[in-house]
Structure 1
Amino acid sequence: MSSTTIAPCAAPAPAAVAPDATLPALVGTGLPVPLVDGRTVPYANLDLAASAPALQAVADHVAELLPYYSSVHRGAGYASQVCTSVLEAARGTVARFVGARESDVVVFTRNTTDALNLLAGAVPGATLCLDVEHHATLLAWRGDHRVLCAADTLAETLDGLRTALAERPTALLAITGASNVTGEIPPIAEIVALAHAAGTRVVVDAAQLAPHRRVDVAGWDVDYLVLSGHKLYAPYGAGVLVGRRDWLDVAAPYLAGGGAVRAVGVEGDAAEVSWAPAPHRHEAGTPNVLGAAALAAACRALDPVIDTAAPAHEQALLERLTAGLAEIPEVQPLRIWADTTDRVGVTGFTVADLPAGLVAAALSAEHGIGVRDGRFCAHPLLARLAGGTDAVRVSLGLNTGESDVDRLVAAVREIAQQGPAADYHEVEGRWVPLHDTRDLDPFGLGATGSAGAGCGH
């Protein structure tokens, strides 16, 4: 009988303690991480816009469910019936959290990108989006798809949308709920109203909005909404598409296979299929029960604070971060529109002539701060805002504290004005310390790391 031994980390795993006791706790808060100079410091995770750690309540719920893990829908055993109940109850929990209409359908997907690609196969006509969008929203659509360049102000951009929708029939307008580069929030209800006036439906990419603010499908009269669990403190591989049933009930199944059918027969040399309606029509194969349960658990944990404590906590930190970065002459913040008044806790910036990847590497290796660098799967937007060069992105969350923001500002000032303290070189497009003594394989799995450029929407 073989066994696998996992090497212990340099320090014991930290307790899950939120900086603000009124907010749900996250797994990994206070994680000790090594620096290139040999010291160990608590990790300042300021990269939550890419992927957020699990809520403690989510991890606990998954651990409770694991002993029951079994097949769903057609399993007669007790564990199967429990898992089926958990999976289907998760649909209702997610629907309530996003303010869905009674008639809306909830389809579980892998993530936001998966959900948008699923919806793309159901759209019976032309589509439109802005050039400020994440690549998932820019690229998912098929056939007649237009990309409208956003103007310098929101007011002008809305006028442009109104004109574009009047020029030719458009089935669906895809918009972001909050920019994954700048955090700016467009006026969703106003955009939906102008789209509906033109006979166009709207899908909102809420991947960046839902972890920070209440989303309201019925209140905004949004037709479809998509989001990712891994950004909503439920990193177990599930996302959702929520919205009107009619397109989804007649569209070709997203995947062909078991679970998506009512009946299958063979007539001559061809299969005869009677497909199930949505959501099961688009959920072929064994579903991600743990992911759906995790996403529902996150919705339950966030629901009491998403209107009050969470946004108040974040906005105070965002103001502190914005003010601190504004005092560093070398830092240039990125903004899409001159007249936006609302943002979630995401901000992108460049630092003088320093490569963004070098800044991010120094923040990690020398200060224990995790940020994102690159073009954030928004290349057209970065081409406009940063001349096509990479930028640094800082994103805040439930476990971010004032000390994390202050550490970041002080570290960026030091790097901008004095340069990195260590020596760095590029390896496969990524900046790494020349003499890196940190153990990047604490579990002894033989991992070597990767220079991948994905952004996990």
Structure 2
Amino acid sequence: MIDTATRTDVRDSVRSDAAGGPLDATSPLAPLTDAGLEVPVLGGATVRHVNLDVAASAPALQAVAAHVARVLPYYSSVHRGSGYPSQAATALVEDARVSVARHVGARDGDVVVFTRNTTEALNLLATAVPGDVVVLDIEHHANLLPWRDRRVVVARRSIAETLVALEAELASRPAALLSVTGASNVTGEVLPLAELARVAHAHGARIAVDAAQLLPHRRVDLAASDLDYLAFSGHKAYAPFGAGALIGRTDWLDAAPAFLAGGGAVENVAIEQVEWKTGPDRHEAGTPNVVGIAALARALMELERLGDAEREAHEAGLTARLHDGLASLPGVRVIRGFDDATDRLAIATVELDHGSVGLVAAALGAEHGISVRAGRFCAHPFFDRVSSRSNGLRASLGAGSTTDDVDRFVAALGQLVAEGPAFEYSRSPEGWCPVVDDRPRVSFD
């Protein structure tokens, strides 16, 4: 344990930009529901929370939370009720379907199926694919585990070489689908989707994109990039109310068995025979998540209002600042998947020369009010291939992040790597925890 009397404390340090002025405390782009949240830290103090775990789950936009509050009084049964609230709820869902399709550049005839999240969307698609699926080893488990007949291509050290390897695999024997991530949730590296689509289609395969990480940061356009399917989650796109979506071509989905067997998915039911619907209803049995669907559509509309170019420029500046700061820290190495990747999201995963990233992550939260993630990020094959350690530490930013967030994290990480935590911790099955935790428990009563 470090003597706190002689320790350099970065929690309350004042930082300035190159012009000498104070750094921004709030993002100029996206007011979030957790903006200005004060959290307790060990020793009895409170600090402004720094959320660098956006890649796992992003907080709600304030506009989304306000929209949900307006929607709730009209919550009612969908597609079946005759009352005014039911008609309003039905309109919310169907208007959201149109809004989501427009946001992602869906083609005429593409279907939008609402799901709980990206994982459910890809599991749904897996029931419909009439053949083998080719994937990369860099995938999140949501785009690796659902495919029954998967052929895994180990990514090469460059994107260019990986494209060649994928083309060779697709040429070796037929595949129905190439399913790839839009951006790695470990490294933030963005893949060339239009080029991947060209490779897939040249060999008679369709392409599906896991856009869980990419879509909240960059606009994705199915028609422009010639993509066949797209899956994403609201909880990563500033709408954490339990809805996601699968968008794409209808024929496979109409031929697949209903994903859930139940009310709403059928035209007619007899004791010995069922006539199933086609279109989104076929796979959306039961009462839909009206509030989550409305929140998802509103989040995408709000991201459009904030501006694609403005958000990308804001995050590019933060990404450069984050990587420059990490490069200045001895004993810290940023993990990369591709030597030639020039485009990446505001995500950085590091491994440490010494010490436990789990302990460092716990100390960042308990002593500095900074939330990060330690582990292998549901991408075990990829992480195990590119890292020499058993776990990494990931910092991820978003539209609501600030330069002060980055600087606090870099300073605190540097301090912890150099000096260790200021308090004692023990390791339990749940991870590293302070031996004495004097932070009050949150009460929602």
TM-score under structure 2 length normalisation? 0.93
Show the counterpart of 2:393.
392
Task: State whether structure 2 residue 20 is matched by structure 1 residue 19.
Answer: no
Task: State whether structure 2 residue 235 is matched by structure 1 residue 234.
Answer: no
Show the counterpart of 1:150.
155
Show the counterpart of 1:51.
57
Q: Which 5+ residue runs of structure 2 have no aligned equivalent?
A: 1-23
Q: What aligned pairs does 1:156-305 form with structure 2 within 5 A after superposition?
A: 156-266=161-271, 270=272, 272-305=273-306
C-alpha contact 1:227 1:240 (8 A) present in aligned 2? yes
SS of 2:306's partner is: coil
Cα-to-partner distance string for 1:410-433 (whole Å, 9 max, x where unaligned)? 001001111111111111140011
Distance 2:25 2:83 in 1: 39
Give the letter for the 2:240 counterpart. P
Show the counterpart of 2:353.
352
C-alpha contact 1:424 1:434 (8 A) present in aligned 2? yes
C-alpha contact 1:18 1:26 (8 A) present in aligned 2? no
Show the counterpart of 2:413.
412
Show the counterpart of 1:453.
none
Distance 2:427 2:170 in 1: 46
Query: Shift of the alpha carbon at 1:388?
Result: 5.4
Distance 1:114 1:234 in 2: 17
Q: What aligned pairs does 1:288-437 form with structure 2 within 5 A after superposition?
A: 288-387=289-388, 389-437=390-438
C-alpha contact 1:214 1:306 (8 A) present in aligned 2? no
Task: State whether structure 2 residue 123 is matched by structure 1 residue 117.
Answer: yes
Query: Shift of the alpha carbon at 1:305?
Result: 3.0
Given the alignment, which residue of 104, 108, 116 partners 2:110?
104
Cα-to-partner distance string for 1:264-291 (whole Å, 9 max, x where unaligned)? 112xxx3x11100020000011000001
C-alpha contact 2:121 2:231 (8 A) present in aligned 1? yes
Distance 1:167 1:220 in 2: 25
Query: Shift of the alpha carbon at 1:441?
Result: 3.4
Query: Shift of the alpha carbon at 1:18?
Result: 8.3
Query: Shift of the alpha carbon at 1:155?
Result: 0.9
C-alpha contact 1:179 1:185 (8 A) present in aligned 2? yes
The number of aligned residues is 422
Distance 2:26 2:99 in 1: 27
Show the counterpart of 1:127.
133
SS of 2:279's partner is: coil
Distance 2:88 2:112 in 1: 20
C-alpha contact 2:60 2:240 (8 A) present in aligned 1? yes
Cα-to-partner distance string for 1:106-163 (whole Å, 9 max, x where unaligned)? 0000000000000000001111100000001110112x21111111111110000000
SS of 1:202's partner is: strand
Distance 1:18 1:301 in 2: 21
Give the letter for the 2:298 counterpart. A
Query: Shift of the alpha carbon at 1:356?
Result: 1.3
Give the letter for the 1:221 counterpart. D
Distance 2:75 2:443 in 1: 29
Give the letter for the 2:208 counterpart. V
Query: Shift of the alpha carbon at 1:308?
Result: 1.2
C-alpha contact 2:124 2:259 (8 A) present in aligned 1? yes
Distance 2:201 2:399 in 1: 35
C-alpha contact 1:213 1:306 (8 A) present in aligned 2? no
Give the letter for the 1:121 counterpart. T
Give the letter for the 2:227 counterpart. V
Distance 2:421 2:206 in 1: 49
Mean alpha-carbon deviation: is it higher for 220-229 or for 349-358? Answer: 349-358
TM-score under structure 1 length normalisation? 0.91
Distance 1:186 1:299 in 2: 22
C-alpha contact 2:25 2:404 (8 A) present in aligned 1? no
Distance 1:121 1:152 in 2: 32
C-alpha contact 2:335 2:349 (8 A) present in aligned 1? yes
Distance 1:147 1:336 in 2: 16
Distance 2:367 2:84 in 1: 52
SS of 2:270's partner is: strand
SS of 1:308's partner is: helix
C-alpha contact 2:374 2:391 (8 A) present in aligned 1? yes
Give the letter for the 1:124 counterpart. P
C-alpha contact 2:351 2:389 (8 A) present in aligned 1? no
Mean alpha-carbon deviation: is it higher for 161-170 or for 24-33? Answer: 24-33
C-alpha contact 1:18 1:25 (8 A) present in aligned 2? no
C-alpha contact 1:18 1:399 (8 A) present in aligned 2? no
Give the letter for the 1:77 counterpart. G
Give the letter for the 1:20 counterpart. S
Show the counterpart of 1:75.
81
Query: Shift of the alpha carbon at 1:347?
Result: 1.0
Cα-to-partner distance string for 1:203-250 (whole Å, 9 max, x where unaligned)? 000000011011111100000000000000000000000000110111
Percent identity, aligned pairs only?
56
C-alpha contact 1:262 1:274 (8 A) present in aligned 2? yes
C-alpha contact 1:18 1:29 (8 A) present in aligned 2? no
Give the letter for the 1:328 counterpart. L
Distance 1:441 1:45 in 2: 17
Distance 1:197 1:371 in 2: 41
Distance 1:368 1:346 in 2: 19
Considering only aligned residues, what root-mean-square deviation do their CA atoms show, in Å? 1.2
SS of 1:139's partner is: coil
Give the letter for the 1:129 counterpart. V
Show the counterpart of 2:91.
85
C-alpha contact 1:105 1:243 (8 A) present in aligned 2? yes
Give the letter for the 1:441 counterpart. V
